[in-house]
Amino acid sequence: AGSHSINGVSALHTALMKQSVFKDLNALYPGRINNKTNGITPRRWLKGANHGLTELLKSAIGDGFLSDAGELQKAEPLAKDKAFRQAFAAVKRENKAELSNLIAARMSIATDPTALFDVQIKRIHEYKRQLLNILETIALYDAIRAHPERDWQPRVKLFAGKAAASYFQAKSIIRLVNDVARKVNDDPAVRDLLKVVFLPNFNVSLAELIVPAADISEQISTAGMEASGTGNMKFALNGAITIGTLDGANVEIREHVGEENIVIFGKTAQEVEDIRRNGHRPGDIIANDPALRHALDQVAAGVFSPEDRGRYAGLCDAVWNSDYFLVTADFASYWDAQRRMDELWRDRTHWRRMGMLNTARMGWFSSDRTIREYAEEVWKVPHSRTHG
């Protein structure tokens, strides 16, 4: 009420704030609520975290992108260059090998750097839906065991993140991921086709190793609940392909990298609102989705926690009876999107082209642009166009 300017941090977030929480304020003071989409600094998340990719880009387009991220677009034509695509892939492979060495040292889990590295690192929260990810992982595990003859793409499912100290459901999800990892990684039936890893003690230093190594960036929050996200920007800048809902800055990332270079699934924010208003019946969805039902039944029965078979009864009951974050509503769409990822990964040339175009088109998401917008439109202060 006392401010001359109020801003959201992504286009979707700002629009939702105008329509919901601040609807009356927006009507009283039209124009006061505005948008300033978050950004990330390429000095840390490209130059600092990914030395190999930085040097490769410098050799091809010069170093101007380090002070003006918009110059990354100069790399876009190189997506058609076979030699550059191979060099881009070699950098990614080296980053994955470094991460594999860290996983082996910390977790005693062997991971293959040639596998598809599918990564979700962020605060553990029900709306960010790590539960959706691990349930799909269980369903994939079941499918590999049931159909070993199929051409499964080797995949490493990597999780990391911290939960609030008293957030019981979030802590239960962390424990479930670790329990699933224990069973999957010890099962010779899936060989090296699937590995599950939860890296503990997540921090920025660990993120600087994980982000450059990711092939898939998991941005799967319930639509309408993520203000913006910046992890999505960091991954795309480093050439990972986003699998995500139309939530937060995913909407704008799709606009910039092109809808053919991102994999979108799930309900929209409006559809989420409609489902909640009209009544969500997760039990009906589960009953009609054998893969989801089997995954939930196994978790509830203690298949992944034989020493404490009732460990996840409360977690499963919440999904069956309320499912506020619409895990069940988006499960089938998420499963299909993941199988599309498998198909894309089979064509390495196309995958590398997609990754390179993500990197080349992410310049707009620099925090330099965000700060410049604040300076010009909110603070009304002079500034330099480039980083000094």
- For 34-64, the pLDDT digits (tens) are 999 999 999 999 999 999 999 999 999 999 9
pLDDT of residue 383: 82
Q: What is the pLDDT of residue 191?
A: 87
H or E, element range at 17: helix 11-19
Query: What is the rounded distance in angstroms from the CA atom of residue 264 to the CA atom of residue 135?
Result: 18
**Residue range 183-209: average pLDDT?**
97
Instruction: Give the pLDDT score at 283.
Output: 98
Instruction: Give the long-range contacts of residues 79-87, CB within 8 A, separation 24 or more.
Output: 79/352, 79/353, 79/356, 79/357, 79/360, 80/353, 84/56, 84/60, 84/356, 85/349, 85/352, 85/353, 85/356, 86/352, 87/56
Cα angle, residue 265 at apex, residues 137 and 22 outer, rounded to 5°: 115
Report whether 213 contacts 96 (CB < 8 A): yes
Return the SS3 of 33: strand
Q: How many CB atoms lie within 10 A of CB 344?
A: 18
State how far the Cα of 12 lies from the Cα of 73, in Å rounded to an integer. Answer: 25
Q: What is the mean pLDDT of residues 341-363?
A: 98
What mean pLDDT is predicted for residues 376-380?
Answer: 95
Indicate the pLDDT class of residue 361, thresholds 50, 70 and 90: very high
pLDDT of residue 388: 39
pLDDT at 386 over 70: no
**Hey, how many other C-beta atoms are within 10 angstroms of the C-beta on 382?**
7
The pLDDT, as a whole number, for residue 385 is 65
Q: Poorest-confidence range of 58-72, 219-233, 272-286, 372-386?
A: 372-386
Can you tell me the mean pLDDT for 77-92?
Answer: 98
Q: What is the pTM of this model?
A: 0.97
Amino acid code (one letter) for 296? L
Would the pLDDT of 119 be above 90?
yes
State yes or no: pLDDT of 193 exceeds 80: yes
On the question of pLDDT at 387 being above 90, the answer is no
Q: 232-280, pLDDT tens digit by residue?
A: 999 999 999 999 999 999 999 999 999 999 999 999 999 999 999 999 9
| Distance between first and last Cα of the chain | 36
With a pLDDT cut of 90, the percent of the chain lying above it is 97
Instruction: Write out pLDDT tens, residues 301-335.
Output: 999 999 999 999 999 999 999 999 999 999 999 99
Token readout for 49 is 């975290």
